[in-house]
């Protein structure tokens, strides 16, 4: 997810009236939702003028989506910044370790300090790393989902760290 500041303040009811295909129900969610098909993303626009872009597969896709949304709003007479600064808030990555994992044994090996594992509640093991501040979800299939990263380096470092821990504990 990336965020940006489009304008100082917006009347979302007016934007929703002009913007065909948008979703706005302030009783359910305080922002306006607009989905783009190319690139396949969603823009969450708030009254403060801030916007969040979700679903982009790369920073370039996020940039394209935000530029495209700005052009759409400006054409509708809603003045917004056409090239706002973009700040990456959260990156999500999926990695395949390449082998199945026994999560119950892994949880016991790693201890309780940075691990949450309650298979009745969630099928994955939650591994919280502090540096970088990310969460790694490990699944019995050997898939790993990393969330909370701010850049590619955070993702790479997390994969290396988790693989190293799995090797040290004999799971790889």
The CATH number that domain 2-88 falls under is: 3.30.310.10
Distance CA(127)–CA(97), nearest Å, equals 15
Q: Tell me: the pLDDT tens digits for 128-143? A: 998 889 999 999 999 9
- Do residues 99 and 116 touch, judged by C-beta distance below 8 A? no
pLDDT of residue 110: 84
Tokens 């489009």 correspond to: 6
Those residues of the chain that have pLDDT short of 70 are none
pLDDT of residue 172: 85
Examine domains 2-88 and 91-168 and report if their fold is the same: yes
Phi/psi of residue 90, each to 5°? Answer: -160, 125
* DSSP state, residue 122: -
pLDDT of residue 113: 83
Distance CA(1)–CA(133), nearest Å, equals 16
**Residue 166: alpha-carbon gap to chain centroid:** 25
pLDDT of residue 4: 86
* 3-class secondary structure, 71: helix
Distance CA(119)–CA(79), nearest Å, equals 50
* 3-class secondary structure, 157: helix
pLDDT of residue 111: 77
- Ranges of each domain in the chain: 2-88, 91-168
pTM value is: 0.79
pLDDT of residue 1: 84
- Say yes or no: domain 91-168 is CATH 3.30.310.10: yes
pLDDT of residue 30: 96
């Amino acid at each position: 997810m990336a965020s940006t500041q489009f304008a100082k303040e917006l009347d979302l009811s007016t934007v929703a009236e002009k913007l065909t295909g948008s979703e706005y129900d302030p009783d359910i969610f305080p922002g306006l939702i607009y989905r783009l098909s190319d690139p396949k993303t969603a823009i969450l626009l708030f009254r403060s003028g801030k916007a969040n872009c979700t679903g982009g597969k790369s920073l370039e896709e996020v940039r394209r989506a935000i530029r495209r949304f700005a052009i759409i709003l400006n054409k509708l007479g809603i003045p917004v910044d056409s090239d706002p600064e973009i700040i990456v808030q959260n990156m999500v990555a999926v990695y395949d370790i390449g082998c199945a994992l026994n999560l119950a044994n892994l949880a016991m090996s790693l201890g309780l300090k940075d691990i949450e594992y309650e298979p009745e509640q969630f099928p994955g093991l939650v591994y919280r790393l502090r540096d970088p501040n990310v969460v790694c979800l490990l699944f019995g299939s050997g898939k790993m989902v990393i969330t909370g990263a701010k850049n590619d380096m955070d993702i790479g470092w997390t994969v290396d760290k988790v693989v190293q821990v799995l090797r040290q504990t004999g799971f790889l």
